[in-house]
Amino acid sequence: MLQRISSPCQTKTWRQQLAEAVRDPAELLAMLDLPATALPELQSAAQAFALRVPRNYVARMRKGDLADPLLRQVLPGAAELAEAPDFSVDPVGDLAATAAKGVVHKYAGRALIVATGACAVHCRYCFRRHYPYSHNSAAADQWRSALAYLRDNPTVTEVILSGGDPLTLSDAQLASFAASLDSIPHIRRLRIHTRLPVVIPARIDDEMLAWIRHTRLPVVVVVHVNHANEVDAEVRRAFARLKLAGVTLLNQSVLLKGVNDDAGALADLSEALFNAGVLPYYLHLLDPVQGAAHFDVAESRARELFAALQRRLPGYLVPRLVRERAGAPAKGLVV
C-alpha cells in the first residue's frame, strides 16, 4: 500500500494557508502538471477576477486533468470574457435589497449580513463577483449599521452571515458580533454561509469553536460543496468538530456544467456529504452573472437531473432545486 505523504498544510494555521493561497495561474498549472499553452487567456481572465485557491484544495485535484471538477471551479478562462446577453453584474438584485450597510434583507424573518468581501477561494461562477464590497461590508463598519438595523427590526429572527466568506474574519471579530446578537432578544438563530471548512479545514480551530459554544444562539453552518472530491478526511474531521460543538450542518451547491451536471456526480456528492455529517439543502441553478455563462445548465436538464436523483436517493439526500429571482419572496423551487 502506498504511504500517504502528509501535506505540509496540516501543520500550518488557517491564516498562513489563507495568505499562501495560489494566485498565479502559471503556478497552478505547474502544480498540476498542466501545459501553459492557454496562459495568456487565463491571465487576462484573472485580471478581471483574480485567481485564488488554497493549496490544500489544489491537493485534492487530479494532476494532468484540465477537466478536473475542482480545478474547473477556480481556473480562469477565456470564456469568462465573452459578453452573454441576459447575464448581468447584479443578477439577484442584492443592491436593491440592501437595507443598511452590509445588510441584505429580502425574505421574511431572516436578514443576510455581507460580513466581508474577502474569500479564501475565488469561484469563477460566483454571483457576487461584481458586488461592490468595500462600500457595503458590515465588519468594515464595525457591524454598527448592521446591529442597529437588527435591533430595530423585531421581525428578524435569523441572522445569516455571508459575504464574501465570513470565516475569513478573525474569531475576535466574529465572537464580538455573536455576543452583540446574543443581547438582541428577538434573534433566535445564527446561520453562517461559508466555504472555509471545505477549502481550508484548519479554519475550524479551538478559537472558533469557543465562541460557537459560547453563544446562546443555535448555529447553522451551510457549507458549499459542489463535488464529492472536495470532501476528504481532513474536511470530514473539520465537520465532525463543528457537529461536536452542536452546529447543524447543511450544504448548498451550484449546478455547474462540467463540474456536477451529472446524476452520478450529484448522487455521489449527497452520499459523501451524509458520510461527513452534512445534509443537502439547496442545489442552485446558476445565477446569470456576467462571466459565468459557460457554467450554465438549462432548466430542462436540471429537472431531469433532479428526477434522476429522486429515483436514486432517499428524499433527505435530495437537495431542493432552486433558482433565485430578483424581487421574489423566497428562493424559487424548480419542480
Ligand X SMILES: *Cc1c(COP(=O)(O)O)cnc(C)c1O
Choices 11-19, 101-109, 199-207, 263-271 (CB under 6 A): range interacting with ligand X: 101-109
| Residue 106 binding ligand X, by CB under 6 A | yes
| H/E run at residue 224 | strand 219-224
Query: Contact with ligand X (CB under 6 A): which of 112, 126, 256, 321?
Result: 112
Nearer to ligand SF4, 195 or 323 (CB): 195
Select from ligand SF4, ligand X, none the partner in contact with residue 225, using the beta carbon and a kind-dependent cut-off of 5 to 8 Å: none
Residues within the interface to ligand SF4 (CB under 6 A)? 119, 121-123, 126, 128, 163-165, 195
Per CB under 6 A, 326 contacts ligand X: no
Residue closer to ligand SF4 (CB basis): 126 or 317? 126
Q: Is 138 in the site for ligand X (CB under 6 A)?
A: no
CA–CA separation, 40 vs 149, rounded Å? 46
- How many other CB atoms are there within 10 angstroms of residue 287's CB atom? 21
- Residue 126 interacts, among ligand SF4, ligand X, none and using kind-specific CB cut-offs from 5 to 8 Å, with ligand SF4
Q: Which of 49, 87, 107, 274: binder of ligand X (CB under 6 A)?
A: 107
Element (H, E) at 268: helix 263-275
Residue (60 or 323) nearer to ligand X, CB: 323
CB of 292 to ligand SF4, least distance (A): 10
CB atoms within 10 A of CB 147: 22
Q: Report, in angstroms and rounded to the nearest whole number, the Rg of the chain calculated over CA atoms.
A: 19
Q: Which residues contact 86 (CB under 8 A, 6 or more apart)?
A: 288
Asked if 199 and 60 count as a contact pair (C-beta separation under 8 A), the reply is no
* Residue 325 touches ligand X, criterion: CB under 6 A: no
Local structure of 160: helix, strand or coil: strand
Q: Total residues at the site for ligand X (CB under 6 A)?
A: 8
Residue 293, helix vs strand vs coil = helix
**Stretch of residues binding ligand X (CB under 6 A), selected from 105-113, 125-133, 240-248, 267-275:** 105-113
From the list 53-61, 106-114, 257-265, 294-302, the region that binds ligand X by CB under 6 A is 106-114
3-state secondary structure of 321: strand
Based on the shown chain and the rule CB under 6 A, indicate whether residue 160 belongs to the binding site for ligand X: yes
Question: Closest CB to ligand SF4 among 29 and 51?
Answer: 51
CB of 38 to ligand X, least distance (A): 34
Helix (H) or strand (E) holding 248: strand 248-254
Locate cell 471579530: which residue? Answer: 173
Measured CA to CA, the distance from residue 120 to residue 104 in angstroms comes to 22
Give the shortest CB-16-to-ligand SF4 separation in angstroms. 19
Longest dimension (CA), the chain: 61
Distance CA 247, CA 242 (A): 5
93 or 263: CB nearest ligand SF4: 93
- Cα-based angle 143, 286, 78 (whole degrees, multiple of 5): 100
Binding partner selected for residue 128 from ligand SF4, ligand X, none, CB under the kind-specific 5 to 8 Å limit: ligand SF4
> Residue 27 carries which DSSP code?
H
Does the protein bind ligand X through residue 146 (CB under 6 A)?
A: no
CA proximity to 21, closest of 76, 69, 74: 74
Residue 42 or 313 with smaller CB distance to ligand SF4 = 42
Binding site for ligand X (CB under 6 A): 104, 106-107, 110, 112, 160, 330-331
